[in-house]
Amino acid sequence: MFQTLNTPLQTIADKVHASERLTFEDGLYLDETADLHTLGHLANIVRERKNGNFTYYNTNIHLNPTNVCVYRCRFCAFRADLKDEKAYTFDEKMIQDRTMEGRAAGATEIHVVGGLHHKKKFDWYLDVVRTIHETCPEIHVKAWTPVEISWFSFITKKPIRWVLEQMMDAGLGSMPGGGAEIFDPEIRKQLCEHKADSQVWFDVHRTAHELGLRSNATMLYGHIEEARHRIDHLLQLRALQDETGGFQTLIPLAFHPDNTELNYLQKPNGMFDLRMMAVSRLMLDNFDHIKAYWIMLGEQTAQLALSYGADDVDGTVVHELIYHDAGAKTPEGKTVEELHQLIREAGREPIERDTLYRRVIRDGATWNVGEPILA
Ligand code: V47
Ligand code: SF4
């Protein structure tokens, strides 16, 4: 295949076979022009080179401690004003209960993000992490995006490093990938003008990596951005990864328009979703993992994505709100058996991982962490 063609795709295919880095122009070609099946085929080569036939999942639970938020991102259906009917804020008991629910289900991770509450002080956010950690120390706390960390820095007037150190002392184990949206300043201005910009997003991740925390990254696509913004986004992530090596996975996030200010836009279709998986896999040669977040993609596209570059489906989740407020039709969670079935139907081998991609050795709700899965 590709041996006699003298086309941009042939040149890109040659680079992929030789494990050479792709350029911005290559990325644009793949995003705008390349035929989807060839693109998927190339991404699958890299996916199998890095992860073989494995597809990872974790047993996790989500906690969004408040939906009250000072910001008004135009793509967000989750946030509420202080006095909205749908506004809620968890108290300590609710946080303990959610953590215990996770423990009973055998969760190895709790994923925590939420709004930036007008009236809550830094200690309240610190106590969210501390309460989870003290209630169940074996559960890994993956919490807060750079948007939240920079808000905490703003309200305490302390440096980002100090905020992260306080959080680590309270039990923070790693950071999720949210808040990245699209880094381009013009797009960001239209989507979420006042919240942390790309420089802040990168400063927080760089500092987290320096402190020994691992983190994830995301890219929100299918709204007002264009191909050049997406490729620029991926290349900025690749550059920080070259510097620190602290990212674990990229999660390409499809925009869900329902109940948002951008509800006049169409949700990206399955072909767009698969293209984003494949382009992300090919451009991020220094990321070990690309995640097909089944909640956001839907089960069928997530299964196909496992042959278009993705090697991870996220987890059991339970209590998902951000995508369901924005119109997601998937269930709010899945059992381990259902995840196994989803992965096996796609011809892949399910492997339970913890947040840091170590093998989980499980006996019902009891588990131990084994060796890192990839050497
Ligand atoms: O930052 C918000 C996005 C993110 C919408 O790190 C929306 O393992 C689409 O980051 N349509 C939060 N996207 C989710 C997130 C995440 C999810 C799963 C796993 C991990 C991980 C991280 O969701 C936000 C924003 O970019 N988002 N609203 C919407 N209407
Ligand atoms: Fe607030 Fe996050 Fe929603 Fe933006 S995306 S409005 S910061 S909850």
Per-residue confidence in pLDDT tens, the chain, 375 aa:
545 567 899 999 999 999 999 999 999 999 998 899 999 999 999 999 999 999 999 999 999 999 999 999 999 999 999 999 999 999 999 999 999 999 999 999 999 999 999 999 999 999 999 999 999 999 999 999 999 999 999 999 999 999 999 999 999 999 999 999 999 999 999 999 999 999 999 999 999 999 999 999 999 999 999 999 999 999 999 999 999 999 999 999 999 999 999 999 999 999 999 999 999 999 999 999 999 999 999 999 999 999 999 999 999 998 889 889 998 888 888 999 999 999 999 999 999 999 999 999 999 999 999 989 986
- Specify the ligand 2 atom closest to the Cα of 76: 3
322 CB under 6 A from ligand 1?
Answer: yes
Alpha helices in the chain (DSSP H): 8-17, 24-32, 36-51, 92-104, 122-135, 146-156, 160-170, 185-192, 198-210, 227-244, 270-283, 294-297, 299-305, 322-325, 336-345
pLDDT number for residue 158: 98
292 CB under 6 A from ligand 1?
Answer: no
From 220, 272, 317, mutation site for ligand 1 pocket: most ligand atoms within 8 A of C-beta: 220
* C-alpha of residue 253 to centroid of ligand 1, in Å: 6
Residue 316 and residue 336 in contact, taking contact as beta carbons nearer than 8 Å:
yes
8-372: CATH topology is TIM Barrel (3.20.20)
* C-alpha of residue 161 to centroid of ligand 1, in Å: 24
pLDDT number for residue 120: 98
- Specify the ligand 1 atom closest to the Cα of 218: 10
pLDDT number for residue 332: 82
pLDDT number for residue 5: 61
pLDDT number for residue 211: 98
Ligand 2, atom 8, lies closest to the CA of 115
Distance CA 143, CA 227 (A): 30
326 CB under 6 A from ligand 1?
Answer: yes
- Ligand 2-lining residues (CB < 6 angstroms): 69, 71-73, 76, 78-79, 115, 147, 192, 195
Query: What number of CA atoms fall less than 13 Å from residue 286's CA on the CB side?
Result: 17
- Specify the ligand 1 atom closest to the Cα of 178: 10
pLDDT number for residue 280: 98
